[in-house]
Amino acid sequence: MSLEYYLLYIILPILVLSALLVFVRFLLGPHLSDRVVSVDLLMTIGVGIVGVYAMATAEATFLDIAMILGLLAFLGTVAFSYYLIKRKKND
């Protein structure tokens, strides 16, 4: 079994499956926070997916996407937290 095959047909599906599971939580909610956790986790998994894809296609450039993905996912979480508190304050 070549590494490429292993990555593309075993690891990547597992990661995508995980992403889908996370997405189930996103759909279920029930709170906005649950969705935010899901999105955050989704992005983190995305980092993994992109990393694996970079290895499988031997394109190191994709790893940079992983980096930015990680960076920005965090910012999204910060923003939503900001929102939750602001909204509470506003009530």
The distance of closest approach from Cβ of residue 71 to other proteins in the complex, given in angstroms and rounded to an integer, is 7
The distance of closest approach from Cβ of residue 37 to other proteins in the complex, given in angstroms and rounded to an integer, is 6
Neighbours of 4 (CB within 10 A): 12
d(CA 49, CA 61): 14
- Per the CB < 8 A criterion, the answer to whether 7 and 55 are in contact is yes
Taking the mean position of all CA atoms in its chain, how far away is CA 69? 8
Count, residues in the chain: 91
The distance of closest approach from Cβ of residue 72 to other proteins in the complex, given in angstroms and rounded to an integer, is 4
